[in-house]
């Protein structure tokens, strides 16, 4: 599962590849809990064991996608 986090005042996104089998509902609950707190911090651990911390006050958006075998290239073309 891939997670992309947009950070305010930063042109780049943070991309984290989570381990296979990550519970999407539990992840959404953790994200909501971190964003709801005044000084919330979102901690994610990628599939290699690296930890990423993002202060909730700096989060612009979070996109959660399940990883697929299809890879898009160019303007959304699908190679098969």
**pLDDT (tens digit per residue) in 20-65:** 889 999 999 999 999 999 899 999 999 999 999 999 999 999 999 8
Q: For the chain, give every domain's residue range.
A: 2-78
- DSSP string for residues in 25-80: HHHHHHHHHHHHSTT-EEEEE-TTS-EEEEEGGGEEEEEEE---S--EETTTEE--
**pLDDT (tens digit per residue) in 8-17:** 998 899 999 9
Pick the CATH number of 2-78 from 2.40.160, 1.10.1060, 2.30.30, 1.10.3470: 2.30.30
């Amino acid at each position: 599962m891939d997670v992309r986090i947009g950070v305010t005042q930063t042109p780049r996104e943070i991309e984290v590849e989570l381990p296979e089998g990550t519970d999407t509902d539990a992840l959404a609950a953790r994200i909501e809990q971190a964003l709801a707190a005044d000084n919330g911090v979102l901690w994610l651990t990628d599939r290699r064991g690296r930890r990423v911390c993002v202060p909730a006050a700096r989060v612009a958006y979070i996109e959660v996608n399940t990883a697929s075998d299809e890879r898009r290239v160019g303007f959304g073309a699908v190679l098969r």
